[in-house]
Structure 1
Amino acid sequence: MKHQWQIDELEAHFTLFPPELGLLGNEAPHNQLGKAVLLKYFQHEGCFPEKAKDVPEDIVAHIAQQLDFDAEILQNYNWKVGRIKQHRKEIREWLGFRPITVADQRVLRDWLQNDVIPHEYRPAHLEQLVRRRLKQLHIEPPSAKRLQERIINSSLHRYAQQLFKTTLEQLPDATRDNLNQLIALDVSLPEEGDEAEEDTGKYLLHELKSDSGDAKVKHVKRTSQRLKLLQNIRLPENLFADIPLPYLRFYQQQVAVSSISHLQRRMKMARQKAQHFTMLAAFCWVRQREVTDQLVDLCIQIINDIRLRAKKRVERELLADFIRVNGKQQLLYRLAEAMLENPDGIIREVLYPLVGEEKLEALVEEFKTTGTYRQIVQTRVNASYTHHYRQILPPILEVLGFRSNNEQYQPLIDSLKLVAAYLEENMTFYPPDEEIPLEGVVPKQWQNWIYQQDRLGRRRIRRVRYELCVLQSLREKLRCKEIWVVGADRYRNPDEDVPADFSDNRDAYYEALNLPLGVDEFITAVKTIHKQALQELNDGLPDNPYVQISTRQDGWIHLSPLKAQEEPTNLRRLKYHIRQQWWMTSLLDMLKEVDFQVGFTDSFHSLTGQERIPRLELQKRLLLCLFGLGTNTGLTSVSMGNHGVDLNKLQYVRRRFIAKASLRQAISQVVDATLAIKQPQIWGEHATWCASDSKQFAAWNQNLMTQWHKRYHKAGVMIYWHVAKQSLCIYSQLKAPSSSEVAYMIEGVLRHCTDMQVDRNYVDTHGQSEVAFAFSHLLGFQLMPRFKDLYKQKLFLADKEDREKYPHLQAILQKAIDWELIAQQYDEMVQYATALRLGTAEAEAILRRFTRKNQQHPTYKALAELGRALKTIFLCRYLAHEEVRREVQTGLNVVENWNSANSFILYGRQGELSSNDVNAQEITMLSMHLLQACLVYVNTLMVQEVLAEPTWHDRMTEADWRGLTPLFYNHVNPYGIFELDMATRIPLAGMATAVAT
């Protein structure tokens, strides 16, 4: 149960009604209050609380107020023996519940095994589903321990054993042999294979674990060989067709972190034969999809890089020509004047003396090179492709299968088959009688360019130029998923991204999104708010001193900056006092203290499923690893401390226990604990908003995640943060600089897995789009951006006949919204919103379909229309109300404050992510997030302890309360303790001689 409740929530769920008051009887006040708490808790959760701390203070206070009791008397209620047993029995009977039986447990296990797993396999989520099921059946659940061990763990084990058995039965003998070859010594592998630390031989499995590298031809060849190796294992096509990829990743991770020797021992054990082959098969199944995605990414990136490099080179050459022949305007004037004065003169006698023969030759050379800019660039691209990058074509066409669900793009599929058919041929042109697809493959501006004359003077299509146009078109269609790839995950068939049972469970999916089934009701609601917002802005504009709309440049919005607020006067003194009271607190001690209070290290379990390290020792090693990773100092530096844990032990724990899912769970625990300890009288009521923004971090560049950022003018990766009020970061994601922030914004709001409920999200210009406005509304939260280009924004009409109703907005009014198109595509929009909510695919993969490169997609058009309406509503409110503008600005300032502390936490290696492994980069990012969240948790307690003193509390001003944040670090020592022993020496060979002399 969450810890913080709003007043309306308490009234809706924890109000005592007259029949319930009668159930309480005439017992002692503390027993009445205890019984009332048990009753309302059971009604809401479907089970009884096991101890007093399970019930949030807000709920106890609300129930006590209704009974006119002091909430403190609940301390007198006995939660273990006495009246509580009788109270539970009476409440069960009154609500029509009964205790769970052995038969009920058996039915539950069957239900989990047959209907729930593997679509949901996480124990915590399974527990929620079981409790919900028991509540529907009016059965009281067992204790949390029995529920976990006897029902959930048992069901997971039974399902796994059944999976092992059925998988083994489906694997042919040849496939089993191929799987065993992965862990057999292979001397043919190249030296640069990624080898596990404890295995010194060369194994195929090591090669399959390797990452793709950055966008280079050699990495395309290596990745395609890796994919070919996976395809040659010959897994049955439908081996894991009905099992979600996240479930299979659980087994893939086990193989990835296991040593070769461990896998070889399991191979020799007859009783683990089924498990052995299932784990290797799952590893290959998942890796095949990951490697396919990596190869497609490499292809897309290389094709883009060819054009970018060509543009840069052409621009440098044109600039050099322009600089070399300067003064062309003046020169042209002088030539024209001389020709007019001497129309019958000889050129050498009239013109050459004015400008000189050399300058005229330079001008001729310049204009020879200036065909259209695009043609020059395309010619340069063609040269690069012909002489180097054409090598990527054979491996890509050999191992990747391209498909399309749209007949419009079938010519592109046919063109790929044509290119593949002539790959081995040594001819310059395609045969004259070959039917070559052009429409939908070669852009119209290049349809003449691909032709050249052969030796006989015939106009024919040059193969290399046609191939280049095919690859460029393929890149665009892959990015918006109009072309998809067989065996991929992110680039798979887009029809698989949406729930397969949407039509059958349409009503339930609409209810989950809180959307009306009727499109008319949906449109009427949006349209009404749309008209009201436009009218409000129009009516208030003459009296609004901060906003002006002019006719300059087709409509221009002038907005005055916000006035600066009063500066806090006591926060610096408060931080100085905390520094004096907790002088240079160790960051490692903060991490340890939060774990003692919250227990987040309990989220980390062995990826192999086997744990032999005592939990207390494991806790110690985990804290050291998380500190080394989060500060970027590394495990080697951390191992030098006097804690008695050497480097090998830390590396073992890092490899076997620390994974992204565990880190995210630990972060959620710390965030929820921070929300629980916050005192409303100091921090105010909990907000339901968060702000999102990204920050760049330097990183090694031999991977696809690290890219050049044109705004920062350097290479790196981006970390996208979701930060709530008072610097409480609820979610973080690693992203490439070129990827859309919109997808990451939506992903964070939906996947943060904390007790916080988000109904508003503040972003900057890069985090918004018309599609983003539409999906945010469908998913139940408001998108509230700060526009960098506010001056050129436009407003859209709800109905075209309403234009004259808004005389003050005429300069920025656009066409009316096409509500008919929204009505036609309403079901499809809800279907994709449901896919985002359920996570049937990554948000970025789903949103690929709805980009400007795919403007003809009908659902994209509808989303854009709905987004324009919602964006208009927001802009009207943003311009009409100063408090809305200040709200957005304040939210985004919180993200900037969070960003400012990143360099304090991630100080090792100058803040550079020193790895080409994207998974390792993400683990470093999440570890830093966890460390910073722990800093916020401890600082929250410190601030509350100081402000509990009346002298400090009374000193605080309104500006101080407004600016108060738990994210500060002038009292924190992030480095550790430095020891100097003057009695010891470094054991060097020449030391004795130097001392003697």
Structure 2
Amino acid sequence: MPEAPGASNLVGLTERIAFLRRLEIDPKLQARVSSGRWDQMIREGNATPAWLANDFNASRRRALIVAQVIKLCQKLTDDAVTMFIKLMGKLFSQANNRKKQRQMDCRANTAKALRMFLDTITALQSANDYGRNALDVLDQRVGWDRLLRMKPELESMVDDNEAPPLTVAAEQYATVHKYTGAFLQAFTFRSAHRHDPLLAAIALLKRLYAEKRRTLPDRVPLTHLSQTDRRLIFEQEKPDRRLYEVATLAALRDRLRSAEIWVDGSRSFRPIDEHLMPRTTFITMKEEDRLGLGVEADGARWLAEARQMLDFNLKRLAHRARSGKLEGVRVEAGNLIVTPTAGEVPVAAEELNAEISEMYPLVEVPDLLREVHESTGFADLFTHVRTGDVPKNVSAMLAGVLADATNLGPKRMAGASKGISAHQIGWMRTFHARSETYRAAQAAITDAHTRHPHSRLWGNGTTSSSDGQFFRASDRAAKRGDINLHYGSEPGSKFYSHLSDQYGYFSILPISPTESEAAYVLDGLFDQDTVLDIQEHFTDTGGASDHIFGLFALIGKRFAPRLRNLKDRKFHTFEKGDAYQALSNHIGAPINTTLILDHWDDLLHLAASITTRSVVPSTILKKLSASPKQSHLARALRELGRIERSLFMIEWYSSPALRRRCQAGLNKGEAAHKLKRAVFFHERGEIRDRSFESQAFRASGLNLVVSAIVHWNTVYLDRAVTQLKRVGRDIPDTLLKHISPLSWEHINLTGVYTWDAEHLMPNGFRSLRLPAGLQRVA
């Protein structure tokens, strides 16, 4: 299946959809089956090869095939719409780049024109100073003919510099034309507005393609376009077909992303309400006081309390700023400037860490995984897709996990393993490795780690952090990978992961490097099955937005990002800004309380849908933030978020402890990235998978193996500390909290993997590597 955005690939997707539709399988059949049974049929169909399906009875085989066809048609629809959105985004991105390049290319001509302009001004000034004829002096000094020859060149430079994005994008109309007809004809688009002008424009374009007409009629739907675009389209006597079509497709892209337009037969591109829990369910839960959110059902009462708290805290901050009583904060030209938090790892902790690292037992990674399985049972949670049985060949299951984690892949893992065949690994991956089994296995290790007494030295498991880690794409996957110049000019993907304050990973997700991380912050908190009760979450600036602040408040958790350029961010107030004179440089627009109150129930509905896992948070957040003209719900959530961000910023300025806590949480995640990079080392650490599903398996395997290493290290870190204390060493907990379980030098990650090796382990543990002095005492 084509994954890279391209005209021929998009047309190919529409052709596949047309083929499936010709099978005349009614997608409404899905509604006749319970959601649980439907999901089971899909999982079983995904894992069942054709040769095995032949052994099923006819009715069961037919049911699985029908379910797979309906699901495939939905997936291809989502893939096609997503590809169209990417193509339109790429069209305007490339147009912007071409415009910048043209400006760069004409720098010499620009300098020449500016020099002539300077000479002209000088000549006119001279004529004025000496009372001479301006035109005569201009002709003598510059040359009238020379000025006239420069005119066409100047006009061209001005046109290129002022060319609207739509005009530059329309230069690639020939490429757009290749896929627009097939894409529009393949789908039925819907809108909440009864007479939506965009739908009328789409219908017009469909008719033009069906009738193979090149020109537009004199009257066309226009109100879905901006005034600027309309003027461009009608610059000549008749409307410009290229400009009109590209502008309409751009509008369609924006409204598909924001769910203002949706597509029949799609799972991702539906109205926002269809993503949320049923409205009737929400109303019942609210009436029975079962929402369990972090705010009151009465919006007016919550706003009154927030108003009082914000006003009091702002006045206190202003007073402390005037009095110079903000620790680690100085005032420069009326701006609050926070001094960066210094590192707080003592030298003694670094020395102790080096000493303990030398005490870890040497271990092969297959043995480490086996030992962690024996203490946690995580491999048994990779249950069979149909029978629910545990894996019969645990070694093959572990080999499959390690193949994902190291980026080696199942076939090459089999070649590098003793006693395990590619068929055995493939069977385990096909019938046992799924997103839900990976999630269960991850929870088993993380829960065991959370319960270990030594983990409590690092935290109590109620705070966490999340961050993205970039991996380059190999040549094979480069076309699917996106480019974010922050990471260089090479394409790739990001693994966005969540880590507890105890170094316990509990979620990971592959995302595009061009996507905002903020949309995925809440995903990891809900898409996990651990015992962790996360109450406070840290991110860097990339994970923060006003929408995120608002949702964290609604669900009753605390959001604490490390914000870049904090002095440029404004406080939003209920009262007039002159009530806080010392903070005048920091006061922004007032809070729109009417907007929040008018949509309070919608905000509660959104939050309840997230807490009950009715919707993946990123699905909604991307839609709310996609439209240039945000919906009422999106703007109400932003206003709520502004309140919460203002309260948070006040505390950030006021509390060195908060700044240190956030910095420490983010440092743990950044340190753990090094371990992940060490494990994900095959194929030069490049992502070779083209599909999201394959990348998700890679990410899940990496998280699982890294979690196993962290837990194994924690066990032996605790034993090493016990041994040191036994010989009289005084090691306070204040020092131990700086010793992380992220070492890997004692673990052999490469070479030949032996899965059934037996080792003598007295009392169920490996012997520590003890220096000579400790051996005599032991």
Check whether TM > 0.5.
Answer: yes
Could you report, residue by residue, the CA deviation over 1:383-435 in whole angstroms, capped at 9, with x for unpaired residues?
212x222111121112211111135x711011101111111334442233xx4
Matches of 2:727 and 2:535, distance apart in 1:
34
Q: In structure 2, what is the equivalent of residue 532 of structure 1?
A: 312
1:303 aligned counterpart, secondary structure: helix
Residue among 781, 789, 792 paired with 2:565 = 789
Residue among 712, 729, 746 paired with 2:505 = 729
Could you report, residue by residue, the CA deviation over 1:653-704 in whole angstroms, capped at 9, with x for unpaired residues?
2223212221111111100011112336x72551311011111111247588
Residue among 219, 222, 230 paired with 2:9 = 219
Matches of 1:830 and 1:971, distance apart in 2:
50
Matches of 1:395 and 1:381, distance apart in 2:
20
Could you report, residue by residue, the CA deviation over 1:141-170 in whole angstroms, capped at 9, with x for unpaired residues?
xxxxxxxxxxxxxxxxxxxxxxxxxxxxxx
Matches of 2:66 and 2:289, distance apart in 1:
34
Matches of 2:737 and 2:721, distance apart in 1:
15
Q: Which runs of 5+ in 1 are unaligned?
A: 1-209, 267-271, 454-458, 980-997
Q: Which moved more, 1:691-700 or 1:874-883?
A: 691-700
Pairing 1:471–2:252 present: no
Matches of 2:35 and 2:136, distance apart in 1:
82
Pairing 1:254–2:38 present: no
Q: Does structure 2 retain, via aligned residues, the 8 Å contact 1:303–1:471?
A: yes
Matches of 2:570 and 2:235, distance apart in 1:
47
Q: In structure 1, what is the equivalent of residue 426 of structure 2?
A: 651
Q: Classify 1:244/1:367 alpha carbon distance in 2 versus 1 (closer, same or farther; 3 Å).
A: farther
Residue among 414, 437, 447 paired with 1:639 = 414
RMSD across aligned positions (CA): 2.7
Matches of 1:777 and 1:213, distance apart in 2:
38
Residue among 351, 357, 381 paired with 1:603 = 381
1:214 alignment partner AA: A
Matches of 1:952 and 1:463, distance apart in 2:
85
Q: In structure 2, what is the equivalent of residue 558 of structure 1?
A: 337
Q: Does structure 1 retain, via aligned residues, the 8 Å contact 2:417–2:753?
A: no
Q: In structure 2, what is the equivalent of residue 449 of structure 1?
A: 232
Q: Does structure 1 retain, via aligned residues, the 8 Å contact 2:459–2:501?
A: no
Residue among 705, 709, 723 paired with 1:935 = 709
Q: Classify 1:953/1:505 alpha carbon distance in 2 versus 1 (closer, same or farther; 3 Å).
A: farther
2:542 alignment partner AA: H
Q: Classify 1:953/1:831 alpha carbon distance in 2 versus 1 (closer, same or farther; 3 Å).
A: farther
Q: Classify 1:296/1:400 alpha carbon distance in 2 versus 1 (closer, same or farther; 3 Å).
A: same
Q: Classify 1:363/1:940 alpha carbon distance in 2 versus 1 (closer, same or farther; 3 Å).
A: farther
Q: Does structure 2 retain, via aligned residues, the 8 Å contact 1:549–1:811?
A: no
Q: In structure 2, what is the equivalent of residue 875 of structure 1?
A: 649
Where do 1:485-884 residues align within 5 Å? 485-500=263-278, 501-508=281-288, 510-513=290-293, 515-541=295-321, 542=323, 543-544=325-326, 546-550=328-332, 556-583=335-362, 585-609=363-387, 615-616=391-392, 618-641=393-416, 643-679=418-454, 683=457, 686-700=460-474, 702=477, 706-713=481-488, 714-800=490-576, 803-851=577-625, 853=627, 855-884=629-658
Matches of 1:464 and 1:783, distance apart in 2:
46
Pairing 1:890–2:657 present: no
Residue among 73, 76, 79 paired with 1:294 = 79
Matches of 2:303 and 2:217, distance apart in 1:
56
Pairing 1:378–2:172 present: no
Pairing 1:967–2:742 present: yes
Pairing 1:430–2:216 present: yes
Q: Classify 1:305/1:320 alpha carbon distance in 2 versus 1 (closer, same or farther; 3 Å).
A: same
Matches of 1:438 and 1:498, distance apart in 2:
32
Q: In structure 2, what is the equivalent of residue 76 of structure 1?
A: none
Give the number of the structure with larger relative contact order, counting CA–CA contacts within 8 Å between residues 6 or more apart.
2
Could you tell me how far 1:537 is from its partner in structure 2? 1.3
Could you tell me how far 1:330 is from its partner in structure 2? 3.8
Matches of 2:175 and 2:332, distance apart in 1:
54
Where do 1:127-166 residues align within 5 Å? none
Could you tell me how far 1:976 is from its partner in structure 2? 3.4
Matches of 1:973 and 1:481, distance apart in 2:
49
Could you report, residue by residue, the CA deviation over 1:614-664 in whole angstroms, capped at 9, with x for unpaired residues?
955x10111111112211122233223463222232223222321222111
Q: Does structure 2 retain, via aligned residues, the 8 Å contact 1:760–1:784?
A: yes
Q: Does structure 1 retain, via aligned residues, the 8 Å contact 2:450–2:502?
A: no
Q: Does structure 2 retain, via aligned residues, the 8 Å contact 1:248–1:282?
A: yes
Matches of 1:652 and 1:581, distance apart in 2:
35
Q: Does structure 2 retain, via aligned residues, the 8 Å contact 1:946–1:952?
A: no
Could you tell me how far 1:887 is from its partner in structure 2? 1.1
Could you report, residue by residue, the CA deviation over 1:482-526 in whole angstroms, capped at 9, with x for unpaired residues?
111111111112221121122233234753325433223322332
1:762 aligned counterpart, secondary structure: strand
Q: In structure 1, what is the equivalent of residue 157 of structure 2?
A: 369
Where do 1:352-367 residues align within 5 Å? 352=143, 361=149, 364-367=152-155
Could you report, residue by residue, the CA deviation over 1:184-219 in whole angstroms, capped at 9, with x for unpaired residues?
xxxxxxxxxxxxxxxxxxxxxxxxxx3x41110111
Matches of 2:48 and 2:407, distance apart in 1:
25
Q: In structure 1, what is the equivalent of residue 183 of structure 2?
A: 396
Q: Classify 1:274/1:566 alpha carbon distance in 2 versus 1 (closer, same or farther; 3 Å).
A: closer
1:274 alignment partner AA: S
Matches of 1:581 and 1:452, distance apart in 2:
75
Q: Find the structure with the greater CA-based Rg.
A: 1
Q: Classify 1:574/1:438 alpha carbon distance in 2 versus 1 (closer, same or farther; 3 Å).
A: closer
Q: In structure 1, what is the equivalent of residue 122 of structure 2?
A: 337
Q: In structure 2, what is the equivalent of residue 305 of structure 1?
A: 90
Matches of 1:684 and 1:963, distance apart in 2:
8
Q: Any runs of at least 4 consecutive aligned residues in structure 1 with deviations exceeding 6 A, and if so which?
A: none
2:93 aligned counterpart, secondary structure: helix
Q: Which moved more, 1:824-833 or 1:305-314?
A: 305-314
Normalised TM-score (structure 2): 0.89
Matches of 1:451 and 1:648, distance apart in 2:
64
Q: Classify 1:951/1:365 alpha carbon distance in 2 versus 1 (closer, same or farther; 3 Å).
A: farther
2:283 aligned counterpart, secondary structure: coil
1:567 alignment partner AA: P
Could you report, residue by residue, the CA deviation over 1:744-786 in whole angstroms, capped at 9, with x for unpaired residues?
1011112222101011111111111111111111111011111
Q: Does structure 2 retain, via aligned residues, the 8 Å contact 1:795–1:814?
A: yes
Q: Does structure 1 retain, via aligned residues, the 8 Å contact 2:335–2:586?
A: yes
Q: Does structure 1 retain, via aligned residues, the 8 Å contact 2:349–2:738?
A: no
Could you tell me how far 1:474 is from its partner in structure 2? 0.5
Matches of 1:663 and 1:519, distance apart in 2:
40
1:388 aligned counterpart, secondary structure: helix
Q: Which moved more, 1:650-659 or 1:955-964?
A: 955-964
Q: Classify 1:556/1:850 alpha carbon distance in 2 versus 1 (closer, same or farther; 3 Å).
A: farther
Q: Does structure 1 retain, via aligned residues, the 8 Å contact 2:14–2:186?
A: yes
Could you tell me how far 1:547 is from its partner in structure 2? 2.3
**Number of equivalenced pairs:** 741
Q: In structure 1, what is the equivalent of residue 197 of structure 2?
A: 411
Q: Classify 1:910/1:676 alpha carbon distance in 2 versus 1 (closer, same or farther; 3 Å).
A: same
Q: Classify 1:691/1:918 alpha carbon distance in 2 versus 1 (closer, same or farther; 3 Å).
A: same
Could you tell me how far 1:360 is from its partner in structure 2? 7.9
Q: Classify 1:581/1:923 alpha carbon distance in 2 versus 1 (closer, same or farther; 3 Å).
A: closer
Q: Which moved more, 1:733-742 or 1:775-784?
A: 733-742
Matches of 1:648 and 1:703, distance apart in 2:
29
Could you tell me how far 1:715 is from its partner in structure 2? 1.3
Q: Classify 1:344/1:313 alpha carbon distance in 2 versus 1 (closer, same or farther; 3 Å).
A: closer
Pairing 1:316–2:106 present: no
Q: In structure 2, what is the equivalent of residue 21 of structure 1?
A: none
Matches of 1:396 and 1:283, distance apart in 2:
23
Taking every aligned residue pair, what percent have the same amino acid on both sides?
Answer: 18
Matches of 1:684 and 1:421, distance apart in 2:
65
Q: Does structure 2 retain, via aligned residues, the 8 Å contact 1:726–1:966?
A: no
